[in-house]
Amino acid sequence: MKLIITVLALFFIWLQPAYALDVREAKKFAGEYAQEAKINEENKKNMWHILTNLKVGAANYKEEEQTVSSDYKAVYSEFLCAAVNQSNNDIEKAIDFSFGQSTTDTETWYISDIKYQTNDLDFYRINLKGSIGKILYSDKYKNLQVVPFLGYGFRYINFKRADFNILDIITFREVVTEKYSIHHCDFGLKFNNALGDKWNIFGLGSFGYVFYNQADNSYLGKTDGAGGYLFDGNINLQYSLSDSWQFIFGGFFELQNLNGGQKSDVVWPDNKLNIYGGNIGIRLLF
């Protein structure tokens, strides 16, 4: 019996260093895991996306008032820069700024579908928008993320007309500018879906309610409009160049429909601006 007890005691003494080593390894592993989880949580708390994008496409602009209408088509390019923050409570905040410029082309005016005037027209546009949304995840489609959002935007457009030709008579009126100020509330939906390790597809659809719009014509003065609506949509493919850098390409379209107004004998016609085309860009994650 004493021999058995002695053997067991020696076996326990031999086993204890290995057991202590296992405990130390387990504690080390648990500590490393906790630290990694903390880092991941911190990254999730403060994940930022910076997006730069170049859009190129076609712009169509029309004005309509009773029997008077106009038609204008041109090439349009725009540069956009956006910043997006996603927090650990799945709230997404975004702000973006863009500047765009059209080429100069002919605007044609009609009365009862009969041409009576042409002039050169070009414009530039500034957009500033902010939004906040809630990130939602799909139980059925694990790689799908959707973000319903609300936002506010301001849009400034400066049209410039020159070289007027009325009934084939060249006029010498100075250049006429018309500046639009547009305030709108937006709501819409973004989506993002992973297509493997390197590829993603993402896009958005957004509706904007115009609650204030004004035109300031250098020849006729200021006129308040009666609101209108905006619609933006895009779809893009994204390729991951690294953990931080992503290459983006896709297509977009925009619809702007504004109701004009009248001040004394000055009429601002209803007008529509549609822009569509393709885009390429780079996204940085940090």
pTM of the model: 0.82
Let me know whether 30 and 63 are in one domain.
no
Let me know whether 20 and 155 are in one domain.
no
Let me know whether 103 and 34 are in one domain.
no
Condensed to tens digits (0 to 9), the pLDDT of residues 104-156 reads 999 999 999 999 999 999 999 999 999 999 999 988 888 899 999 999 999 99
Let me know whether 183 and 256 are in one domain.
yes
**Cα 5 to Cα 267: distance, rounded to the nearest angstrom:** 109
**Cα 133 to Cα 148: distance, rounded to the nearest angstrom:** 5
Tally of domains within the chain: 2
- What is the residue range of 13's domain? 1-45
- 149, 169, 213, 257, 271 from 225: Cα distances, Å: 27, 32, 5, 11, 10
Say which CATH number the domain at 258 has.
Answer: 2.40.128.100
Let me know whether 197 and 101 are in one domain.
yes
Let me know whether 114 and 33 are in one domain.
no
Let me know whether 223 and 274 are in one domain.
yes
Cβ neighbours of residue 65 under 8 Å, at least 6 residues apart?
260, 267, 269, 270
- Given a cut of 80, is residue 3 above it in pLDDT? no
Confidence band (pLDDT; 50, 70, 90) for 246?
Answer: very high
Judge contact between 6 and 12, C-beta under 8 A.
Answer: no
Residue 19 in tokens: 């057991």
In terms of pLDDT, which residue wins out, 11 or 246? 246
Condensed to tens digits (0 to 9), the pLDDT of residues 197-221 reads 899 999 999 999 999 999 999 989 9
**Cα 269 to Cα 180: distance, rounded to the nearest angstrom:** 13
- Given a cut of 70, is residue 43 above it in pLDDT? no
Let me know whether 274 and 198 are in one domain.
yes
Let me know whether 33 and 87 are in one domain.
no
Percentage of the residues of the chain whose pLDDT score is greater than 70? 84
Predicted local confidence at residue 195, as pLDDT: 92
Judge contact between 76 and 98, C-beta under 8 A.
Answer: no
In terms of pLDDT, which residue wins out, 44 or 25? 25
Let me know whether 149 and 16 are in one domain.
no
Percentage of the residues of the chain whose pLDDT score is greater than 90? 72
Let me know whether 245 and 225 are in one domain.
yes
Let me know whether 39 and 56 are in one domain.
no
Confidence band (pLDDT; 50, 70, 90) for 231?
Answer: very high
Question: What residue has token string 């493997």?
Answer: 196
Confidence band (pLDDT; 50, 70, 90) for 168?
Answer: confident
